[in-house]
Structure 1
């Protein structure tokens, strides 16, 4: 049965996964404690956390398992770890030969400008192109070009960056040179056709843009894309009890603490939690972003395998426990998603006075009888 691989029909799915003695998704606003619903104490894992795992798996697949360079080229990741989104959008403009701005270029004739430029070259945004023709000889023979693409906020961030701000403070000539050059440059002409052209390139080349969508109007404009695949938060079946544990370290952070026998650290975790999340695939949106059969196949594969590439001491033991895909035989669907999801029931153990500590404590009940006409259930993983 391969209906779940058809990108031209609607799919709704239920994902089950569990965690043992780990933190599945820390809350930075709560000291990185596991996220919970404050009223029910059920554990929460955000859609963003799940998509991070999917992105990481796709990137790993592209590096090691892609069948060809052409396939790998379609699997780039837009939202990379520590990546710069505007730099990614700029790639589309460069690839499609779309102007990134009205550039300005100046010859660097003053050593008071040339010296700090050489020192700050690694920190210059990609919108600045510094060509130093004779750096070794020390002669003044260099140019600086600015594309004009950065927003006011981006320029402010560049100006306030530690090493840049210090150079501006100590060297007024350098500060004036850079800011005068920026004033001479201009923004690219607002052109809907160019934005649509860049957006098409982004969809063709970035897997997560095709699948999840993206806002790509933060710098150079590539518009906004609504992704074909949408995920919900995952919620634990029963309440979880986050724990903050003290650990001892035999190493110290600062030399002044060398005489201490040990220092104290913290680890946060939940003893056990079985989580349930949902997702929805829209073939209408997929046709706009260019999702194909292989994209869909890799998505289901990532939900099963991504846990193996996200191991860490803080995660504990996480594993997929169920992936149930309801496939409709048309684009609009044959039944409401919530009615299909109700066919998968997991009774709460707290109602029976049981404290869950392993997956086998639960009984997953799947009603696959008398499915609505046109709906097929595919069980990609169980247990």
Structure 2
């Protein structure tokens, strides 16, 4: 691994969807998530982290040090147990083990951070108890994401579809097609904001410059390995990164986020493409802060 990061960062992700469902809401029949008061579309931070994890898992293929802790079909207990087996305390009473070795908590945490990219990045709750002797603690990650919100209000559509494949023999005797539904957003541009703490990286997880480069790569490509009929045409359009020249930062995050203006062009009444918007970054930026635009 490379050196731990020494600079604080904030970043803005702009991504769009065309004729797809970017994040279904299970409380609303899997309709696209919407703020009911304003009509703006929402995408949860959990959804975005899942895309990032999936990209890293695909790119690194479980290489040592780059594994993913929160992944499909792998119980968390299985990964937690690895740390305790490595330290020779699996199956033992952890209270007794910690009395014998006061540094055990830190050793378990360090093992998990060194082996799992998403723990180094986002942190994790690893207090998964099995008969009282499996507990890897909690780690607060240096990288945090907000919910994404659409730049303009959205109007989700419910599309009725038909299929010729009948489910059962009984149904086949009385009908030739079956009905179904798809939920889409015709077009929306979303904005998410994120934070990276060099202080937490140094003190807790060891999030490194190499991890940071992979994170930017994963964000820019998080939809490229996730295409499906349900999610339509989704793409990250821009990643705007603010880098501070110190560990604790040189300006409040909100001032940097407010510097990024995303507006629909005046002549556009109903946006249907990224080109219907303009993106500007106000200058000058606070002293000690640099801005890089990727994508």
TM-score scaled by length of structure 1: 0.71
RMSD: 1.8
Deviation at 1:94, TM superposition (A): 1.1
Which of the residues 283, 294, 300 maps onto 2:198?
283
Question: Measured at CA, do residues 217 and 190 of structure 1 come closer, stay the same or move farther in structure 2, by a change above 3 Å?
Answer: farther
Verify the 8 A CA contact 1:196 1:223 in the aligned structure 2: no
Return the alpha-carbon distance in structure 2 between the equivalents of residues 190 and 357 of structure 1: 60
Preserved CA contact (<8 Å) 1:46 1:234:
yes
The answer on whether the counterparts of 1:195 and 1:221 sit within 8 Å (CA) in structure 2 is no
1:189 to 88, 92, 96: 96
* Greater strand content: 2
The CA distance in 1 between the partners of 2:47 and 2:161, in whole Å, is 26
Residue pairs, 1:1-383, within 5 angstroms: 7-63=5-61, 72-101=63-92, 189=96, 191=98, 193-219=103-129, 220-259=134-173, 260-287=175-202, 288-348=204-264, 354-367=269-282, 369-381=283-295
In structure 1, runs of 5+ residues without a counterpart are: 67-71, 103-186
Q: Distance in 1 between matches of 2:96 and 2:107?
A: 14
How many residues were matched structurally? 284
1:29 to partner: Cα distance: 1.1
Normalising by the residue count of structure 2, what TM-score does the alignment of the two structures yield?
0.92
Whether the 8 Å CA contact 1:76–1:207 is kept in 2: the answer is yes
- SS of 1:346's partner is strand
The structure having more radius of gyration, on CA atoms, is 1
The secondary structure found in structure 2 opposite 1:245 is strand
Where in structure 2 are there 5+ consecutive unaligned residues? Answer: none
3-state SS of 2:57 partner: helix
- Tell me if structure 2 keeps the 8 A contact 1:210–1:289: yes
For 2:166 and 2:221, how far apart are their aligned partners in 1? Answer: 37
Give the deviation of 1:101 after TM superposition.
Answer: 3.0
**Displacement after TM superposition at 1:206 (Å):** 0.4
CA apart distance, 1:310? 0.6
- Give the Å deviation of 1:322: 1.1
What's the secondary structure of 1:238's corresponding residue?
strand
Greater helix content: 1
Q: Deviation above 3 Å: which 4+ runs of structure 1?
A: 187-190
Could you list the per-position Cα deviations for residues 68-118 of structure 1 after superposition, in whole angstroms to 9, with x for gaps in the alignment? Answer: xxxx2111111011321111101111122223236xxxxxxxxxxxxxxxx
